[in-house]
Chains A and B, each alone.
Chain A
Amino acid sequence: MQRKLPLMIVLVIGIAMLIQFFIPHKFSKDLYMNFLDWLGIIAAFALVLGLGSLINHHLDKIQRKRENWQYSWVTLIAIVITAIIGLFGGMEGKGPLPVQPQFILGNKLIVIKYSIQTIYDNVMTPLGGTMFALLAFFMASAAYRAFRARTFEATLLLVAAFIVMIGVVPIGYYISPKLPHLAQWIMDVPNTASKRGILFGVGLGIAATSLKIILGIERNWLGGK
């Protein structure tokens, strides 16, 4: 039963959703929206489980004093502080938390709100931006590795990349007015052709995997039972 029930649910819901795609009636759309709502509810419960796993992971690390265990405190303290601000300050700082600190910077009055938005704007956004900015350096090192002309394919890649890079900057036009066109042709024809080839395979792969799961042929997602 433990094995059959999930497979039956997947089969029934999978086929129902497949049929739903072909029914434009309001009933069908409402059903689909209901399932999406269920997914949201499941995700909310799963988040609790996820949070539990994260806390367990770091508590375990601290208890066993594993390598760099001190940083786990940072994670745990950040979780607690964020949770308190989220629960009692709210999204926009309108919760029952105490008076918000104010100070004057230059001729501006700065008010620090105990809100999730404050954390998001002042912590998450700059940290996320920092990580994103690292991409530029990673791209440079990856490009260096990719463009080492050791094989014929790598040489081809190097030449194509060189033409595209030069073709899309103004100096390319001054070297030869045809260079931007050649760069665009590389992007439009060989590049698009290969991308479409991959996408055909991906589309069929998605369809096949979905079908295998619905029909119960593929069971690895259930732990291979």
Chain B
Amino acid sequence: MAILNTFLLFVVQILQPENVHPLKIINQDSISIIIGWDIASGISVEKYEIYRSKYRLLKTLFQDTIYIDYNIKPDNEYLYDVVKKEIMKEYNHQKNFLKVVSIGYQVIKDTTNNRNIIKWKRPNDLYLGETYEIWRAENNGDYEIIGSVSARERSFRDTTMKDGVKYFYKVAAVNGNERAFSNPSPLVFTIGTPKFLYARDIPNDEGEGFRITWEPSPNYDMIKGYALLRLVYDSIAAFKDTFTFTDTTIKPGIEYHYYIGKNYQITMPAKIVSDSVGMTGRVIKIEWKLNPKVIGQNYDLTLIYRAKKDSSDKFQYVDYTYPDEDKFIDGTAETDREYIYEARAVKEVSIPFKIEKDTCIENKRFISLSWKKSKEPPEFLGYYVMRAEKDSGNYGIYARLGTQVTTYQDRLGIFNNVPYTYRIVAVTKDGEKISSETTPYVVASPQWFHTGRINALIGIIIFIFLVIFFIEYAKKEKDIFVRRIAGLSAIDEAVGRATEMGRPILYVPGTSVIDDVATIASLNILAEVAKKTAQYNTPLIVPNRDPIVYTVAREVVKESYNKVGRPDAFNPDSVYFVTDSQFAYAAAVSGIMIRERPATNFLVGMFWAESLIMAESGASTGAIQIAGTDAVTQLPFFITACDYTLIGEELYAASAYISRNPTLLAALKSQDYSKLVIVGVLIIATILALLKIGIPVFNLFNIQ
């Protein structure tokens, strides 16, 4: 769409005055002209009289040497004169005119022919230019002449514009050697064609998506946004119990893409839970019970349908919501109508098909498609055939994006193994649209290996190799050194103390769930502690927050008692579930500490904010406290409130440390050597970073 830019500009020409107060233009714009003059030294001025064309007195000024004339019109020439009246002597009119010519002109963008047309009116007859010159500047650079026309011409066509460059124009009226320039035009620009970098299948995903990247238009600051267009597939047929289709509506010379999909729909009757009149009108809130078949079955949407009650009207589409939603607010209902509602969860899936025949009979082409019959559930609605004309230009808008966006992942209704093509359209603030070229056809497919995680795979292989190597090493060399860990060495002392005092031992296996490795590490330590309590016949209390942890902890303690030959000493009531509420659990454990007065408290596993509540309660009872966690934020609390703390990895070393099992110790050793590898890599990476050559190396360690 062409843009009309209309401006009022003023072209100024100064005729040199002959007297002592030369007039000059101080400023000029579309609504005013400001003229000024110098004070003649040594002359006592009483007042200035300002005259405009034909000696019409505009104003008399005292002492001022500037005048602003607001009473101007475009396409007119004005003559100014200022007469000073001295105290002693009065001058006649000097005829020292300042001549101002105003030209109204416009720049018309002709995007169809890629040219700008500059049009102007001839100033009134007082000024007769010999020629007009058109001057142009690129991106606020210097003005250069791009053409000239005779005094009779009133327009100029600029056809030498470059794509995506900002231009400013000036018109100069030339009379002899004198040039009277207009003010510069406002910005005239072409936003430039956005350029596709690529549209391709998203790597390392489950398919059904493309990543589209483009270069922004050169004049991105003039753009309101982008529209992403995608090839549209139209539905041309639908079936339920048919497994072949012949397309007879083929236009000659056109290639087609097909895909066959199938629909599922589960209807869920909805009930009205409230019907009221709000600020915006009638508001009906409906709810429905989610069908179990919808939950977790990748349904695309839930469509809301409505029908008038007690009438034969069919259900009509109202809106859509997410498939896991079970409520909706309808704000579009008519007043004094009763409605019934339905929520319909819908899903579309593409299926493989083959082209059976592509024949031409009597100059008419037929394409036959076929697909396999499959057993379908009751919610199956039917098959549908979709078709797109190759290079047809039938594109639909699939996303509206901001100016800062230059990449987009399209996952809306895309099927695997179906060809799509894209085009990006830049939209200016004035609504002008410039489309890019279309991308080559792309097809989405799911991947079977995540290439972005190959570094993690290598790391795991190295680690497994180290573990196996040290296990073999441990079988030959039994003596593997492990540094002393104070918290674990104190277990014997802690159990012994409890035994001597005749008090129980409290073991808290963290407050996390079983799939937290810290919890499993804690249960490993619990097994060792339980063996010792079984040997010394010391009561053990294990309150649990997670029910699965409870069942595992119970078995662990029971087996430990069995292992040391004291199954009779196992008290099934010693391991029990308390609550899954975080602070209720903390309150319960604190209560046990205060009431039962355990001689030793073990707080081992994963903890959050409740850690200090338990540790401080335990400290107040005077018990020996051994804590261990890999939660960095909780470590300071444990270090402060407990006697011994297993910091981070010591928690995971505990099982090997206590049992002294060579295989476990070997695994511990492999951990140390892995850490050595990491430290080595860190040192190398640090050196590379200091040398500013590390970025490609860092990317090697980035796991997607």
Contact = CB atoms under 8 A, between A and B. Distances in A.
A2 to B, nearest CB: 11
* Interface secondary structure of B, over-half rule: helix
Contacts of B450: 21-24
A56 interface: yes
Contacts of A204: 649, 671, 674-675, 678
A92 to B, nearest CB: 11
A24 B671 contact: no
B449 A43 contact: no
Contacts of B581: 124, 128
A24 B205 contact: yes
Contacts of A51: 547, 577
A200 to B, nearest CB: 6
Contact of B446 (A25, A67, A218): A25
Contacts of A87: none
Contacts of B627: none
Interface stretch (A105-113, A132-140, A170-178): A132-140
B649 A202 contact: yes
A152 interface: no
Given A201-B648, A217-B664, A224 B560 contact: yes
B671 A223 contact: no
Most chain B beta carbons < 10 A, residue from A23, A43, A215, A224: A224
Contact of B558 (A47, A134, A200, A223): A223
B587 A131 contact: yes
Contacts of B576: 53-54, 56-57
Contacts of B518: 206
A58 B578 CA distance: 10
Given A50-B550, A211-B463, A217-B664, A25 B206 contact: yes
Most chain A beta carbons < 10 A, residue from B563, B637, B640: B640
A205 B446 contact: no
Nearest to A205: B652
* Interface secondary structure of A, over-half rule: helix
A57 B550 CA distance: 13
B463 A207 contact: yes
Contacts of B637: 142
A141 B612 CA distance: 10
A29 interface: yes
Given A26-B206, A127-B583, A128-B584, A221 B551 contact: no
B524 A220 contact: yes
A76 interface: no
B463 to A, nearest CB: 6
Contacts of A27: 446
A81 interface: no
Given A56-B573, A205-B521, A211 B555 contact: no
B632 A201 contact: no
Contact of B616 (A22, A138, A200, A211): A138
A26 B448 CA distance: 9
B111 interface: no
Nearest to B545: A50
B37 to A, nearest CB: 55
Contacts of A212: 467, 664, 667
B128 interface: no
A208 interface: yes
A80 B8 CA distance: 86
B667 A145 contact: no
B449 A22 contact: yes
A205 B651 contact: yes
Nearest to B552: A221
Nearest to A124: B581
Interface string B541-569: 00010011011101110111011000000
A22 B678 contact: no
Nearest to A139: B612
A195 B619 CA distance: 25
B632 A24 contact: no
Given A50-B547, A220-B556, A221-B552, A198 B206 contact: no
A146 interface: yes
Interface in B616-658: 616, 619, 630, 632, 635-637, 639-641, 647-649, 651-653, 655
A209 B463 CA distance: 12
B74 interface: no
B517 A210 contact: yes
Interface in B652-704: 652-653, 655, 659, 663-664, 667-668, 670-671, 674-675, 678
A132 B560 contact: no
Nearest to B586: A131
A198 B634 CA distance: 12
Given A24-B450, A218-B664, A224 B652 contact: no
A213 interface: yes
A142 B640 contact: yes
A225 interface: yes
Contact of B524 (A215, A221, A225): A221
A83 interface: no
Interface residues of A, number: 65
Nearest to A39: B515
Interface string A8-47: 0000000000100111111101000100010100110011
A222 interface: yes
A26 B671 CA distance: 34
B583 A128 contact: yes
B652 A222 contact: no
Contact of B517 (A18, A29, A142, A206): A206
B550 A21 contact: no
A195 B632 contact: yes
B165 to A, nearest CB: 44
A213 B520 contact: yes
A25 B520 contact: no
A49 interface: yes
A198 B647 contact: yes
B613 A135 contact: yes
Contacts of A198: 630, 632, 635, 647-649
B467 A208 contact: yes
B609 interface: yes
Contacts of B639: 146
B595 interface: yes
B204 interface: yes
A151 interface: no
B32 interface: no
Given A131-B613, A198-B647, A200-B678, A145 B550 contact: no
B612 A138 contact: yes
Given A220-B556, A221-B552, A22 B453 contact: yes
A169 interface: no
A68 interface: yes
Nearest to B525: A220
B520 A42 contact: no
Contacts of B671: 204-205, 208
Given A50-B577, A135-B609, A205-B630, A223 B559 contact: yes
20 contacts: A23-B449, A25-B448, A26-B206, A26-B446, A29-B206, A50-B544, A132-B609, A135-B612, A139-B612, A142-B641, A145-B641, A198-B630, A198-B632, A198-B648, A204-B671, A208-B652, A218-B524, A220-B659, A224-B559, A225-B559
Top 8 closest A-B pairs, CB basis?
A223-B559, A205-B652, A201-B649, A50-B577, A50-B547, A131-B583, A46-B547, A220-B527
Given A26-B206, A50-B550, A132-B583, 19 more contacts: A22-B449, A29-B206, A37-B296, A53-B575, A56-B576, A131-B584, A131-B587, A134-B613, A141-B616, A202-B649, A204-B671, A205-B652, A208-B674, A209-B521, A211-B464, A213-B520, A218-B667, A223-B558, A225-B559
Interface of B: 204-207, 296, 446-450, 453, 456-457, 460, 463-464, 467, 471, 515, 517-518, 520-521, 523-524, 527-528, 531, 544, 547-548, 550-552, 554-556, 558-560, 562-563, 573, 575-579, 581-584, 586-587, 595, 609-610, 612-613, 615-616, 619, 630, 632, 635-637, 639-641, 647-649, 651-653, 655, 659, 663-664, 667-668, 670-671, 674-675, 678
